[in-house]
Structure 1
């Protein structure tokens, strides 16, 4: 398959302005901006034809070109990464079979997460897919702590028995009453794979009330009756966490050091 990874990045983040350019210090003591670490994570994925950073901001574009990334400029009208991916798709001379949206705030995304997603997309009946990760005790504690302290952090997924999504939320679902004996909670990994036609349909739908309330772009598929295939992945002992709030910088840098990621 011809697979393109798109990395949407915008400067004007509501929760964390300038987030793509926030420096993150690796195991060697050197700092790199968040967008570079996300791009390096994308470049480590096998079976990918091309990788692009998508942005509407010249500062991010200049930084990305500075470390060697290909950049596609998109409009300020894009309300989320999926809409930005739909805009970028229209700019390509050769349409890929699959577009992967790797969020620009997810530098800890292991390559095998994305590879599992690409493998699932080999089934041409799957129009859109996203990975989910069974929460380990530390990740679950982080999620619960964030909500108790009023922060919006990671996202959880609720699925049917066949793996199709019922709902995604920034709340911890199902409810966790006791961390010593919690229910099974699935952490949504901020990566999406789409068929080009699915991306175009998405761009033609209006934002729905659930998407608006949660601030989760994938809910537009759910609200319009489009199947979202959840792909369980194995962390293999690595902690997965996105950079959603300033407090996450220390969390991510700790993982970079532990995993000896320069």
Structure 2
């Protein structure tokens, strides 16, 4: 399979404008993400797609691949779809631009979802990890997911799911990690569908797949990642970087 990684990179994040150009050590967040994705060696091509000349120049001037986004977009998926529309690819991995410490193992597991025994049935896949901390289970910024017996997602929600009605039965809570893999046609279909009711209510674009009958295969990993959504997250990322170098 021809597998590529695309990193959507919007400059004006609502919660933390310009965050992708914030420095961790000598490099901007977006370049850490790009370099670490490239270093996995899993992809025939890695590139950033962005609406920002600053981000584009930072990647290209340091020898990387970047594409300027032509249109305004509601989501990262739409931005990626524009970039890959004319490319001959099989699987597209969407790596979030604000995950500077992305690693090989979870991305490799995600790709294997398409090569497993029933992989021909998988159109979209994503990552999840087990969460046990009550503050995360109840935090609406930590999206939760419940899965069926074959690990296809049944529902994503910002609410704690499942509801633990019978406390004599142990409940496992899975946190969604926003890294996706798509077959190209599934991604192109997504961009043609209007926003769906649950998607609008929860503000979760992945629900658009489910409301249109496309299951998302979830892959369990022990990688939690360090997404930089706030200035406080940036300070945490800087500490991690300082102690790992």
Q: What TM-score, normalized to structure 2?
A: 0.88
Change (3 A) 1:253 1:79: same
Q: How far has the Cα of 1:254 moved from its partner?
A: 3.1
Query: For residues 67-146 of structure 1, what are the structure 2 equivalents within 5 Å?
Result: 67-92=62-87, 95-122=88-115, 123-135=119-131, 137=132, 140=133, 143=136
Change (3 A) 1:176 1:53: farther
Displaced runs of 4 or more, over 6 A: none
Residue 22 of structure 1 corresponds to: 22
Residue 225 of structure 2 corresponds to: 240
Aligned equivalents of 1:57, 1:88: Cα separation in 2: 15
Query: For residues 83-232 of structure 1, what are the structure 2 equivalents within 5 Å?
Result: 83-92=78-87, 95-122=88-115, 123-135=119-131, 137=132, 140=133, 143=136, 147=139, 153-174=141-162, 183-232=171-220
Q: How far has the Cα of 1:96 moved from its partner?
A: 1.2
Q: How far has the Cα of 1:176 moved from its partner?
A: 8.3
Q: How far has the Cα of 1:142 moved from its partner?
A: 5.8
The number of residue pairs the alignment matches comes to 239
Identify unmatched segments of 5+ residues in structure 1. 25-29
Q: How far has the Cα of 1:52 moved from its partner?
A: 0.6
What do the CA deviations read for 1:132-161 (whole angstroms, capped 9, x no partner)?
1112x5xx356258x3xxxx6332222122
Q: How far has the Cα of 1:8 moved from its partner?
A: 0.2
Aligned equivalents of 1:31, 1:154: Cα separation in 2: 29
Q: CA RMSD in A?
A: 2.3
What do the CA deviations read for 1:216-250 (whole angstroms, capped 9, x no partner)?
22111111111111011133xxx523112222112
Aligned equivalents of 1:169, 1:107: Cα separation in 2: 25
Query: Alignment partner of 1:154: what SS?
Result: coil
Change (3 A) 1:171 1:63: farther
Matched, 1:254 2:239: yes
What do the CA deviations read for 1:73-124 (whole angstroms, capped 9, x no partner)?
22342211111111111243xx111110001112233211000011111222
What do the CA deviations read for 1:16-71 (whole angstroms, capped 9, x no partner)?
211211222xxxxx232110111122112233100010111211111121222211
Aligned equivalents of 1:184, 1:109: Cα separation in 2: 25
Aligned equivalents of 1:144, 1:133: Cα separation in 2: 12
Aligned equivalents of 1:204, 1:246: Cα separation in 2: 35
Identify unmatched segments of 5+ residues in structure 2. none
Aligned equivalents of 1:174, 1:37: Cα separation in 2: 35
Q: Is the 8 A contact 1:154 1:241 kept in 2?
A: no
